[in-house]
Structures are given as structure tokens and as C-alpha cells.
Amino acid sequence: MTHRTTTRRAHMLSAALAAAVRGWHVHPLRPGGKASALHGEHACPRTGECAGGHVKWEQRATTDPDRIRAAWSAGAFNVGIATGPSGLVVVDLDVPKERSGKGSSDAPCGATAFSALCERAGVSWPTTYTVRTPSGGMHLYFTAPPGVRLPCTAKTVAPNVDTRAWGGNIVAAGSVTPAGAYEVTDNAPVAVLPAWLLHRLQPAPAPAPAPAPLLVPGGATRRATVALEREAARVSKAPEGQRHDLLLKRTIAIGRFVVWGEIARDVVEEAFGAAGEAAGLPAAECRATIRDALAYSARTCRARGTA
């Protein structure tokens, strides 16, 4: 083992232990990367922690220094923080990615969008533990309110603003990728999640039961079918720089018909998936965006009679 490798491994171990001291549950990420270094379900040996069945990375993340030393002794792994078990909500403010040879996205950067949200709420930018990402974005750390289990979000709060909570992973300070390092820019204590942001992130109460569906199971009303065809066509022709946001917003708009029982969810997913791919978006991004949009509709849609 070279001196450089030994030094790098010691640095990453130190970063993992520093996060664990704060009570944050860590797990190893691939060296130089952001994906988990732990085995997935398909490669699970069904031994050790997984003897009773596959245990996912979120459950295997730990604050135990002995387990951390044992894990990082095997390699210079980057450090991931399982935000849910750590009691964290991390706001991820992205920078729009440049489109190869065609300039950059016309969406505002996450910091600009978040600043506008703060202004709208009548509050200043929160002072809290902050990490700068290699791309120039920011991770704002907040403590989650007790007894509230918040989900992750992707660009539903604002353009280029994601949040990581239960089911989420964030790359810890000290980790390094080919693009650069994750560096602490404000070592302030982790602030409590602002009330205005909690209100935006907290799942809305389940909507009141809608009247009986207007169709037999498996069918669809004409207005839902026409609306879906119209909105999917708009998404398929979306110009570069607007594709993601248009897919998200138009799926949210059609989501109310799914909630009201006027069209099957899988029909909507298939139509918007094909439209997003036709516009040039990767299939995985389409699936994630459609899932987030329909979840948002389910949380916020009003009963049919009040819409």
C-alpha cells in the first residue's frame, strides 16, 4: 500500500468518525464516488447482518466507531450519511448542469430559488451547518422535528432544490470525487428545520374520499384521456432546458385524475414516461420525476367537488 493510499484512507476514516460523533449514521460510498459501496439485494450473501434477509444501506448505516473503523480499513471509501436515521433534513441546492455544446439550463440555481422562498416566507437565509459540493452547490443541514417522518423530495419545493430525509443519503464533508471535495463552509450548529419549510415538506392529510369513480375499473373518463394526451404531447416537444420541469408540472396536473379515479396510474406513468424519453430525458429520470409528481398530487389534490 502506497503512502498516498494510506493517507487517503486515514482521511476518509477521520471524516466518517467525525460525522458519527455528531450522531450521524454513516455508511461507505465507493472511493471517489457517490454510490453506496455496500452490497445490494441481488448480491446479498444472506449472512451476517443479512442472515434473516437483505438489510439495506439505510439500516446498516452506523455511529459505532468500531464498525466504522472496520469498514474503512478495507478502502478509502467516501462517506455517506443516512439522513433519516440521523434525524436530519438536508436541503440540496443544485447548480444547473451545463448541456454539452448547448449552453446551460435556464432554470435558476438552487441557492437563488431557496433565497426567494426565504424572502417569500419573510425570513432571512438560515444560519446552519453548510457544506459546499464540488459542483458549486450547497447542502444545508437541519434537525428534523421529533415524531415527524419526512420523505425526500426532488425539485418539488423549487427548481434545483431537493431535500434528503427518510430514504435519503447525503455525501459527507471530507469526501472527494473527480470533480472536487465536499467542504464545510459554515461550521455553525445544525439548526432546527424552519417552520415554513416543514410546512412545505410535511405530507398533506389524505384527501377526503372522492365520489364514486365515473368509470368501471380499468377504464378512463374522456376528459382524463384527452387531458393526458394533450399534456403528454406538450412534454414530448419540450425544448432542452425545460424538459424536467415541464414533465414534473404536467404530471402533477394530470395526477388529480388518478386521485379521483378517472384514469389508472400505470396509464399515466406509461404515457409521461414515453413523452419524457421522446423529449430526450433518461428513462430513470423520467420514472423518478413521475413518481415524485404523482406523490405530490396524492398529498395535495382536493376532492373532486371542490377542485
Give the HSE-up count for residue 166: Cα atoms under 13 Å, Cβ half-sphere. Answer: 10
pLDDT of residue 257: 92
Region 24-46: mean pLDDT is: 90
Q: Report whether 301 contacts 254 (CB < 8 A).
A: no
Rg over alpha carbons for the chain, rounded to the nearest Å, is 22
Of the pLDDT bands very low, low, confident and very high (cuts 50, 70, 90), residue 209 is low
Q: Is 110 exposed, middle or buried (0-12, 13-18, 19+ CB in 10 A)?
A: buried
List of residues 6+ apart from 186 with CB closer than 8 A: 127, 128, 129, 130
Which pairing describes strands 88-93 and 78-82: parallel, antiparallel, or unpaired? unpaired
Region 246-272: mean pLDDT is: 93
Task: State the amino acid at position 282 in one-letter form.
Answer: P
Q: Report whether 173 contacts 131 (CB < 8 A).
A: yes
Q: Report whether 234 contacts 272 (CB < 8 A).
A: no
pLDDT of residue 228: 94
Of the pLDDT bands very low, low, confident and very high (cuts 50, 70, 90), residue 4 is confident
pLDDT single digits (tens) 7-16: 999 999 999 9
Distance (Å) of CA 40 to CA 57, 171, 175: 8, 18, 22
Distance CA 276, CA 224 (A): 19
pLDDT of residue 253: 93
Can you say whether residue 205 is alpha, beta or left, with left for phi > 0 and alpha for psi between -120 and 50 degrees?
beta
pLDDT single digits (tens) 146-190: 888 999 998 888 889 999 999 999 999 999 999 999 999 999 999
Q: Report whether 12 contacts 175 (CB < 8 A).
A: yes
Distance CA 275, CA 234 (A): 8
Region 279-303: mean pLDDT is: 89
Does residue 43 register a pLDDT over 70? Answer: yes
Distance CA 303, CA 129 (A): 40
Does residue 212 register a pLDDT over 70? Answer: no
Distance CA 46, CA 52 (A): 7
pLDDT single digits (tens) 108-136: 799 999 999 999 999 999 999 999 999 99
In the numeric block, the cell 384521456 is attached to: 225
Does residue 306 register a pLDDT over 60? Answer: no
Of the pLDDT bands very low, low, confident and very high (cuts 50, 70, 90), residue 102 is very low
pLDDT of residue 156: 87
pLDDT of residue 3: 72
pLDDT single digits (tens) 134-147: 999 999 999 999 88
Does residue 216 register a pLDDT over 50? Answer: no
pLDDT of residue 107: 62
